[in-house]
Structure 1
């Protein structure tokens, strides 16, 4: 999650009954038996194995930028950026997606800036409406080993690619690895500006820090201006006005399948407000700012996890059971939005 109040910001626990703002029932056409079966194929040991591989890749990699930050006065920030890596984790993500038989490409861009980004894009083509896209992504750059931030997010994308590629869907499902999120959403910003083209994004999910949970009272700090439960044992599903229905659908799917503890949070309009700033610290933000549908799934990072951007962000601090459940509900939602499984 990147380093970076309106009263209308809502903790949306009541939002989500059987309908949203439209009259269309939330889960119309959903085959809950099929969605539950698909979600059940998410494997905990595969997820944790992927996280371990990604952490090792970061630990064995050469930091991308260090000299560029030598003049930064804040010693903590300067030292942290000397531990930012991405090359080996990106290569691992690309090779795993290719091994599934997906069409994979790189989106390279510099925009005249000092940092070149290389996003990873893989697709499972839709059968009847391939121009309509359901997107799931996570950033693959990380500080130190980056177990929670964001090896959990990358592992989730890879496990979802494995599970979903066993089926076919009406819409295309796109799996994206965003580069250099930690420098200020650089890769996702360039992706939205340059690589989306005419495709219609009908739903998208961004993962960032989804593996740290604690049932201990007081383990969850509130985002300023927004009350929250006191225990960090929930998945935050963060949306805005455009993505309200998708948040409602994900919540309803989770209620039907009884997978995990979901707390939906909605920011008004495009999210850009004094309080909303803390809800815009990952790669969903460029989607929001261009009027596109996007949900941000997170364990809330530094508002819960004391290891955020520290050497102590290690695999043994994660909760494998809750992590798997987060990926399971995501699998069901993505399959539903994509018009399947077939």
Structure 2
């Protein structure tokens, strides 16, 4: 998510978009309240743990670790019974991206699944989360637990719920590659989509859904561009540890605090498609080797995931009414 801050020289040149620094926000002093005890979050937490483990080697695009993460996600989708898209499960691509040495050609692969809708089968909500991170730099593994193993785990949890309780719109579940190298996988997806662009109702992008500890908020970016989404999401009730917050998308949110171009949703926005981006604010471990699984508060992450799923359900019900 969001290109690395300038102070992190080992990976800054690998990124192509401007990033934002943590905004001033009240610190949540109260301990996290356990999320819905009736819900089994074991798989959610296991997905996060596995994708951010050292043996994934930071999941850089084109690396062995990236291939291992891809194989894991494919296995999870197949275990859930999520069918491949009309073009297949994998969408390979080659594109120019940036490294600290300059530009190079990256070979990446998007992962695509489809869940048919019950009411509007010919319109698709594209749910995205990038599975790549920045790899190994100066001998240190950048595990990227929050960025973005968390968003992928949230997306897989949503896929599990949609298989049990099908959506009204058809859904494309898309794990994108190459986000950290310049939104490469997202750019390729909109250039060569598995369904016509006019059949895409919107993009819902999950990028960093775990570490809401600093302000207790899961931020929603895109309601300034698409204000009709705001009343729909205003109905989503807050969780014990996390609530939805709206912003980081206005002309007043300049430079570092504007997230409209900050992650894969930007490629959909540039293609003229409606989008919303769900993500937490910056934290001290962002784009550092210390972004570990152990730093994540399970109750906070689980609440963020519940909010993301509730947001999807509200949008799914509202669209095409």
Could you say which TM-score interval applies, normalised by the shorter chain?
0.7 to 0.9
Partner residue of 2:284 out of 286, 294, 306: 306
Residue deviations 1:268-296 (CA, integer Å, cap 9, x gap): 48x99646654421111111112211111
Partner residue of 1:190 out of 173, 181, 188: 188
Q: Kindly indicate whether the alpha-carbon contact (under 8 Å) linking 1:42 and 1:328 is maintained by their aligned counterparts in 2.
A: no
- How far residue 203 of structure 1 moved from its aligned partner, in angstroms, is 3.1
1:44 paired residue number: 41
Tell me the distance in 2 between the aligned counterparts of 1:50 and 1:62.
Answer: 14
Structure 1 runs of 4+ with >4 Å offset: 39-42, 60-65, 271-278
Q: Secondary structure of the equivalent of 2:126?
A: strand
1:251 paired residue number: 234
Q: Do residues 267 (structure 1) and 245 (structure 2) align?
A: no
Q: Do residues 201 (structure 1) and 209 (structure 2) align?
A: no
Give RMSD over aligned pairs: 2.9
Q: Do residues 93 (structure 1) and 91 (structure 2) align?
A: no
- How far residue 204 of structure 1 moved from its aligned partner, in angstroms, is 2.5
Q: Do residues 291 (structure 1) and 272 (structure 2) align?
A: yes
Give the alignment's TM-score, normalised by structure 2: 0.74
- How far residue 324 of structure 1 moved from its aligned partner, in angstroms, is 1.1
Give 1 or 2 for the bigger CA radius of gyration. 1
Give the alignment's TM-score, normalised by structure 1: 0.70
Q: List gaps (5 residues or longer) in structure 2.
A: 4-16, 18-35, 97-103, 135-141
Q: List gaps (5 residues or longer) in structure 1.
A: 5-38, 66-82, 215-230
Tell me the distance in 2 between the aligned counterparts of 1:169 and 1:136.
Answer: 12
Cα gap change, 1:339 to 1:277, in 2 (>3 Å): closer
Q: Kindly indicate whether the alpha-carbon contact (under 8 Å) linking 1:241 and 1:267 is maintained by their aligned counterparts in 2.
A: yes
Q: Kindly indicate whether the alpha-carbon contact (under 8 Å) linking 1:134 and 1:171 is maintained by their aligned counterparts in 2.
A: yes
Q: Do residues 109 (structure 1) and 93 (structure 2) align?
A: yes
Q: Kindly indicate whether the alpha-carbon contact (under 8 Å) linking 1:140 and 1:151 is maintained by their aligned counterparts in 2.
A: yes
Q: Secondary structure of the equivalent of 2:187?
A: helix
Residue deviations 1:51-97 (CA, integer Å, cap 9, x gap): 111112753578556xxxxxxxxxxxxxxxxx994211111111101
Partner residue of 2:128 out of 132, 137, 140: 137
